[in-house]
Amino acid sequence: MPEPVPMLSLLETRVLATLAEKQRTVPDTYPLSLNALAAGCNQKTSRNPVLDASEAEILAAIDGLKEAGLVGEVSGSRVVRFAHHLEKRLAVPTQASALLVVLMLRGPQTAGELRLNCERLHKFADISSVEAFLEELADRPDGALVQELPRLPGSRENRWAHLLSGPVSVEAMGGGAGAVESGGLAARVAALESEVAELRQALAQLRADIGG
């Protein structure tokens, strides 16, 4: 049985989720250098809230994640690079980790929003499969990793939130914590913007590596 996961700060969850996201979306640049990791943590698309963390703050967050067994350094490169141990440390399958990553990056979302926003990390066949993995994460005998939030006024679906930063304050979430509009146009535009940002980031990293 995995050890209990320490409560993570917002920046620690952002660092961890960014590493896991980039491993799947831009594998050629993974593990990530500090520069690439900072760019991913602070990008303006597919993030809620948007952060402006310094490299020093990100290094401090990495130290906390190392102590928790969630992140490690990778040797053998001219530049120090970082990799995550999310699935191994939490003992979750890749489908479940995709849901956790998107919740950490974008805040509380409905199952429908999660299915759409997870497309580049894992393609779920339907919403019921998303719900099945969410329920699995919520009912873990060694501690829930997600929780279902009370339905907001006027909403047809309940949202879900991760618990890696502790219990969720529903009042603090308010009505606008969902990162995308259900129905998909805003989410698809954000996904395209994210792809462009990641391609630019990968190109910049490649140029930096070639330039030495």
CATH fold for the domain made of 91-189: Arc Repressor Mutant, subunit A (1.10.10)
Annotated domain spans of the chain = 10-88, 91-189
* pLDDT for the residue 200: 76
Report d(CA 61, CA 55) in Å as an integer: 10
| Phi/psi at 109 (5° precision) | -150, 160
Residue-level pLDDT at 112: 96
91-189 shares the fold of 10-88: yes
- What is the per-residue pLDDT for 1? 53
Task: Tell me which of 2.60.40.10, 3.50.50.60, 1.10.10.10, 1.20.140.10 is the CATH number of domain 10-88.
Answer: 1.10.10.10
Looking at residue 173, what is its pLDDT? 54
pLDDT at position 199 is: 74
Distance CA 109, CA 161 (A): 7
Nearest to 48 by CA among 100, 107, 103, 110: 107
**Segments of the chain scoring below 70 in pLDDT:** 1-3, 170-195, 211-212
How does 174-210 read in b/e, with b if 16+ C-beta sit within 10 Å? eeebbbbeeeeeebeebbeebeebbeebbeebeeeee
Which pLDDT score is estimated for 191?
A: 59
As a whole number of angstroms, the distance between CA 115 and CA 24 comes to 16
Name the average pLDDT for the chain. Answer: 87
Return the pLDDT at 177.
41
Residue 3: the pLDDT is 67
Q: In what order do the strands lie in the sheet with 71-74?
A: 32-33, 81-84, 71-74
